[in-house]
Amino acid sequence: MAQILRDRVFGNSKRHSQRHNPIQTTMPVYPVEDLPNPFGELGPNLSDSELRETVYEILVGACRSSGAKPLTYIPQSEKTDRSDRTTLTSLPSSLQRSTSSAASRVKKALGLKQTASSRRRLGDGDSVSQGKTKRSGTVWELMRVQMRVSEQTDTRVRRALLRVAAGQLGKRIECMVLPLELLQQFKTSDFPSQQEYEAWQRRNLKVLEAGLLLYPSLPLDKKDTAPQQLQKIIRGALEKPIETGKHNESMQVLRSVVMSLACRSFDGSVSDTCHWVDGFPLNLRLYQMLLESCFDPNEETSVIEELDEVLDLIKKTWPVLGINQILHNLCFSWVLFHRYVTTGQVDNDLLSASSNLLEEVEQDANGTKDPSYLKILSSTLSSILGWAEKRLLAYRDIFHSGNIESMQNILSLGLLSAKILIEDISHEYRRKRKGVNVARDRVDAYIRSSMRSAFAQKLEKVGSSKRLSKSQNNLIPGLSALAQDVSELAFSEKGIFGPVLKRWHPFATGVAMATLHSCYGNELKQFVTGISELTPDTIQVLRAADKLEKDLVQIAVEDSVDSEDGGKSIIREMPPYEAEAVIANLVKAWIRTRVDRLKEWVDRNLQQEVWNPRATKERFAPSAIEVLRIIDETLEAFFMLPIPIHAALVPELMTGLDRCLQHYISKAKSGCGTRSTFIPALPALTRCSAGSKFHGVFKKKERSHISQRRKSQVGTTNGDSSFGIPQLCVRINTLQLIRMELGVFEKRIMAHLGNSESTQGDNIANGTGKMFELSASASVEGIQQLCEATAYKVIFHDLSHVLWDGLYVVDVSSSRIEPFLQELEQYLEIISSTVHDRVRTRVITDVMKASFDGFLLVLLAGGPSRTFTEKDSDIIEEDFKFLTDLFWSNGDGLPTDLINKLSTTVKGILPLYRTDTNSLIEQFKRVTLDGSPAKSRMPMPPTSGQWNSNEPNTLLRVLCCRNDETAAKFLKKTYNLPKKL
Give the pLDDT confidence of 814-864 residue by residue, as tens digits.
999 999 999 999 999 999 999 999 999 999 999 999 999 999 999 999 888
Encode pLDDT of 440-474 as tens digits: 999 999 999 999 999 999 999 887 666 545 544 44
381 and 515, same domain (yes or no): yes
To the nearest whole percent, how much of the chain has pLDDT over 90? 48
Taken in order 793, 799, 800, 801, is the CA torsion positive or negative?
Answer: positive
Choose among 302, 304, 291: nearest CA to 9.
Answer: 304
Measured distance CA(752)–CA(770) in Å, rounded: 16
Encode pLDDT of 196-209 as tens digits: 999 999 999 999 99
Q: Is pLDDT at 131 greater than 50 in this prediction?
A: no
Q: Report how far Cα 479 is from the mean position of its chain's Cα atoms.
A: 19
* Average pLDDT score over the chain: 82
389 and 337, same domain (yes or no): yes
3-state secondary structure 591-610: HHHHHHHHHHHHHHHHCCCC
Q: Is pLDDT at 307 greater than 60 in this prediction?
A: yes
246 and 349, same domain (yes or no): no
What is the pLDDT at residue 712?
33
Strands (E), 214-369: 295-296, 299-303
Which residue, 548, 576, 604, sits at the end of a domain?
576
Choose among 332, 340, 309, 343: nearest CA to 142.
Answer: 309
Kindly indicate the confidence band of residue 33, based on its pLDDT and cuts at 50, 70 and 90.
low
Q: Is pLDDT at 581 greater than 50 in this prediction?
A: yes
Q: Among 10-14, 506-510, 774-778, which stretch is predicted with the lowest mean pLDDT? A: 10-14
Q: Is pLDDT at 86 greater than 50 in this prediction?
A: no
In a domain, 261, yes or no: yes
Measured distance CA(913)–CA(874) in Å, rounded: 9
Kindly indicate the confidence band of residue 698, based on its pLDDT and cuts at 50, 70 and 90.
very low
In a domain, 377, yes or no: yes
CB 920 within 8 A of CB 959: yes
Q: Is pLDDT at 141 greater than 60 in this prediction?
A: yes
Measured distance CA(414)–CA(250) in Å, rounded: 53
Q: What is the pTM of this model?
A: 0.64
Contacts (Cβ under 8 Å, ≥6 apart) of 184: 244, 245, 246, 251, 255
Q: What angle do CA 14, 16, 20 make, to 5 degrees?
A: 115
- DSSP for 757-793, written as a single string: --HHHHHHHTTSS-SSHHHHHHHHHHHHHHHHHHHHH
Domain count, the chain: 2
The mean pLDDT value for 342-363 works out to 90
In a domain, 88, yes or no: no
Which residue, 576, 592, 623, sits at the end of a domain?
576
- DSSP for 33-51, written as a single string: -----TT----SSS-HHHH
Choose among 833, 831, 852: nearest CA to 842.
Answer: 831
Of 72 and 438, more confident: 438
97 φ, ψ to 5°? -135, 160
243 and 344, same domain (yes or no): no
**Residue 244 has what DSSP assignment?**
-
What is the pLDDT at residue 931?
61
Side-chain-facing half-sphere of 567: CA atoms under 13 Å: 20
State the DSSP H helix or E strand holding residue 820, giving kind and residue range, or none if neither: helix 818-834
What is the pLDDT at residue 979?
78
Which residue, 528, 543, 576, sits at the end of a domain?
576
The mean pLDDT value for 680-694 works out to 71
What own/partner pairs with CB < 8 Å and gap ≥ 24 does 389-393 have? 389/414, 389/442, 389/446, 392/446, 392/450, 393/445, 393/446, 393/449, 393/450, 393/453
Contacts (Cβ under 8 Å, ≥6 apart) of 624: 664, 668, 734, 737, 738
In a domain, 585, yes or no: no
What is the pLDDT at residue 500?
94
144 and 275, same domain (yes or no): yes
What is the pLDDT at residue 347?
85
* Domain hosting residue 462, numbered range: 323-426+437-576
What is the pLDDT at residue 467?
56
In a domain, 561, yes or no: yes
| β-strand partners of 962 | 868
In a domain, 260, yes or no: yes
Kindly indicate the confidence band of residue 492, based on its pLDDT and cuts at 50, 70 and 90.
very high
Q: Among 240-244, 717-721, 733-737, 784-788, which stretch is predicted with the lowest mean pLDDT? A: 717-721
Measured distance CA(793)–CA(843) in Å, rounded: 12
Encode pLDDT of 400-440 as tens digits: 999 999 999 999 999 999 999 888 777 555 555 556 788 99
Alpha helix (H) ranges present in 130-275?
132-146, 151-167, 178-185, 194-209, 226-239, 249-262
Q: Among 350-364, 415-429, 680-694, which stretch is predicted with the lowest mean pLDDT? A: 680-694
Q: Give, rounded to a whole angstrom, the gap between the first and last alpha carbons of the chain.
A: 154
Cα dihedral 550/555/556/559 (nearest 10): 160
Taken in order 755, 758, 764, 765, is the CA torsion positive or negative?
Answer: positive
What is the pLDDT at residue 44?
77
366 and 495, same domain (yes or no): yes
555 and 422, same domain (yes or no): yes
For 300, the 3-state DSSP assignment is strand
Q: Is pLDDT at 605 greater than 50 in this prediction?
A: yes
To the nearest whole percent, how much of the chain has pLDDT over 70? 82
What is the pLDDT at residue 752?
86
What is the pLDDT at residue 58?
94
What is the pLDDT at residue 429?
52
For 532, the 3-state DSSP assignment is coil
* Amino acid occupying residue 760: Q
What is the pLDDT at residue 783?
95
What is the pLDDT at residue 584?
84
Contacts (Cβ under 8 Å, ≥6 apart) of 802: 707, 819, 820, 823
CB 177 within 8 A of CB 198: no
| β-strand partners of 299 | 296
The mean pLDDT value for 81-90 works out to 33
- DSSP for 354-384, written as a single string: HHHHHHHHHHHHHT---HHHHHHHHHHHHHH
In a domain, 334, yes or no: yes
Kindly indicate the confidence band of residue 740, based on its pLDDT and cuts at 50, 70 and 90.
very high
Encode pLDDT of 836-849 as tens digits: 999 999 999 999 99
State the DSSP H helix or E strand holding residue 388, giving kind and residue range, or none if neither: helix 371-392
The mean pLDDT value for 36-49 works out to 85
Choose among 579, 518, 613: nearest CA to 834.
Answer: 613
479 and 334, same domain (yes or no): yes
| β-strand partners of 868 | 962
154 and 248, same domain (yes or no): yes
59 and 186, same domain (yes or no): yes
CB 963 within 8 A of CB 867: yes
383 and 530, same domain (yes or no): yes
**Maximum separation of any 2 CA atoms in the chain, in Å:** 173
Q: Is pLDDT at 270 greater than 90 in this prediction?
A: no
In a domain, 723, yes or no: no
Encode pLDDT of 911-953 as tens digits: 999 999 999 999 999 988 876 655 557 888 888 888 999 999 9
Encode pLDDT of 206-259 as tens digits: 999 999 999 999 999 888 889 999 999 999 988 888 888 777 888 899 999 999
- DSSP for 695-747, written as a single string: -SHHHHHHHHHHHHHHHHHHHHHT--GGGSHHHHHHHHHHHHHHHHHHHHHHH
What own/partner pairs with CB < 8 Å and gap ≥ 24 does 829-837 have? 830/725, 830/726, 830/729, 831/725, 831/729, 831/790, 831/794, 834/613, 834/619, 834/726, 834/729, 834/730, 834/733, 835/729, 835/732, 835/733, 836/618, 836/619, 836/732, 836/733, 836/736, 836/737
Encode pLDDT of 518-577 as tens digits: 999 999 988 888 887 777 788 888 889 989 999 999 999 988 887 777 778 888 889 999
The mean pLDDT value for 892-907 works out to 93
150 and 280, same domain (yes or no): yes
Whole-number Cα distances in Å, 881 to 797, 815, 825, 948: 23, 16, 15, 19
Of 222 and 390, more confident: 390
Choose among 174, 183, 182, 235: nearest CA to 209.
Answer: 235
State the DSSP H helix or E strand holding residue 750, giving kind and residue range, or none if neither: helix 725-752
Whole-number Cα distances in Å, 884 to 679, 846, 849, 852, 909: 21, 13, 10, 9, 16
Kindly indicate the confidence band of residue 128, based on its pLDDT and cuts at 50, 70 and 90.
very low
299 φ, ψ to 5°? -140, 90
Side-chain-facing half-sphere of 54: CA atoms under 13 Å: 34
Of 813 and 690, more confident: 813
What is the pLDDT at residue 317?
94
Measured distance CA(693)–CA(731) in Å, rounded: 45
Q: Is pLDDT at 181 greater than 50 in this prediction?
A: yes
Q: Is pLDDT at 691 greater than 90 in this prediction?
A: no
